[in-house]
Amino acid sequence: RAGTAIVRTSVPGLRWSKGLKGRKVLEAFFRKEIAAKRQSRDSDLFSVLCHAETEDGEQFSDDDVVNHMIFLMMAAHDTSTITLSTLFYYLAKNPQWQERLREESKALGKASLDYDDLPRLEGIGMAMKEALRLCAPVPSLPRKTVKDVEYNGFFIPRGSFINVVPYFTHYMEEYWPEPEKFDPERFSDARREDKVHPYAWVPFGGGAHKCIGLHFAEMQVKAILHQVLLNYRWSVPQDYEMPVDTTSLPVPGDGLPVKLEKI
Whether 200 and 106 share a structural domain: yes
Q: Tell me the per-residue pLDDT of 163-196, one tens digit each, with 9 for 90 and over.
A: 999 999 999 999 999 999 999 999 999 999 999 9
Whether 55 and 94 share a structural domain: no
Round to the nearest angstrom and report the end-to-end CA distance of the chain: 37
Whether 84 and 128 share a structural domain: yes
Over 60: is that where the pLDDT of 23 sits? yes
Contact between residue 202 and residue 141 where contact means Cβ atoms under 8 Å apart: yes
Whether 13 and 124 share a structural domain: no
Answer yes or no: is 219 within a domain: yes
Banded pLDDT at 230 (limits 50, 70, 90): very high
Whether 17 and 120 share a structural domain: no
d(CA 154, CA 5): 32
Answer yes or no: is 39 within a domain: yes
Over 90: is that where the pLDDT of 122 sits? yes
Q: Which residues pair with 244 in a beta bridge?
A: 252
Domain end call among 36, 58, 75 = 75
Q: Tell me the per-residue pLDDT of 6-19, one tens digit each, with 9 for 90 and over.
A: 777 888 888 889 88
Q: Which domain holds residue 39?
A: 2-75
Q: Tell me the per-residue pLDDT of 45-69, one tens digit each, with 9 for 90 and over.
A: 999 999 999 889 999 999 999 999 9
Whole-prediction pTM value?
0.85
Rounded mean pLDDT of 82-98? 98
Domain count, the chain: 2
